[in-house]
Amino acid sequence: MTLEQLRIFVAVAERQHVTQAAHEINITQSAASSAIAALEERYAVKLFDRIGRRIELTDAGRIFLSEARSVLAQAATAEKALADLAGLKRGSLSVYASQTIVNYWLPPFLAMFHKRYPDIHLMLKAGNTQQVATATHEGTADIGFIEGVIDDPHLSVRSIEGDQPIIVVSPTHPLASNAKLEPNDLLKTKWVLREPGSGTRGEFEAALKSLSMTLADLDIALELPSNEAVCAAVEAGVGATAISNLVAEAGLLSGKLVSPEFPLPRRSFYVLHHKERYASQAELALLELVGAGVKTSARRRERAV
């Protein structure tokens, strides 16, 4: 069994499609198929069921996927340790972040990082808070940035300054004329919210709890998988939403959204790193840029003692 075979298997398993996986990792479809066939033949185990033109992981494949990811993460850690011997002149950094952070908060920091360290290859992926935590836990991300709190004993969680959640509606919405909202006003409108697992949704839910309310008390019209979709629905007059001021800024400036005053607490963002994995110089350099480097450097020193 080779690392390349494991890499191909994971790519195919994650996409449930040989051709797409081969294209993504820049190999031919026949090479990908041959690698999977070699694993199945060598260990006399079926990893995928072929159902028409689709493939699905077997029970054995699902179990093996977790182990394959773990091995690849360990190999990546060893590679990063060797790359660190060359300082910040080579290497890579895989970053996974939730949508608000990816689209509105993180890009300026990544631009600064690239300008300072142009030979470090940055890989950025987006997901909701739970997806980011999972990727960081499994090692497919070196570092994660999330908006909501997670509970995973394998991950270190560091807080950094975040954004300001606000309530927004369209200019034609009945609440748009209110300079200030009262808690009871939240019950008088339909709501457009992010999907379960979103940090934005989780923070709003926590704010409601402090008012002795829950999401079940609200009339939720839509649950959507992106900030942009939420804003578009609110601009169309579907209802109100609670969203980051960073996300709503363009709509507020253009007049497509208005924000009645309501006391939602300012929130922190959180940096995730697996406690048992090596923190590379590239990771520490990025954390210095976003203001979390001192704490992370201390963690790395403590682990080395």
CATH of the domain at 27: 1.10.10.10
User: Is 36 contained in some domain?
Assistant: yes
Same domain, 156 and 183: no
User: Is 262 contained in some domain?
Assistant: no
In this prediction, residues 20-29 reach a mean pLDDT of 84
Closest CA to 251 of 266, 263, 241: 241
In this prediction, residues 293-302 reach a mean pLDDT of 37
Number of H helices, E strands in the chain: 12, 11
Q: What is the pLDDT of residues 76-86, one digit of tens each?
A: 777 766 666 56
Read off φ and ψ for residue 139, nearest 5 degrees: 90, 5
User: Is 259 contained in some domain?
Assistant: no
Same domain, 153 and 290: yes
Q: What is the pLDDT of residues 45-75, one digit of tens each?
A: 888 888 877 788 888 888 888 888 888 887 8
User: Is 197 contained in some domain?
Assistant: yes
Q: Of 22 and 218, which is predicted with more confidence?
A: 218
Helix axes 59-84, 281-290, angle to 10 degrees: 80
Domain range for 277? 90-160+267-305
CB atoms within 10 A of CB 250: 12
Rg of the chain over all Cα atoms, to the nearest angstrom: 22
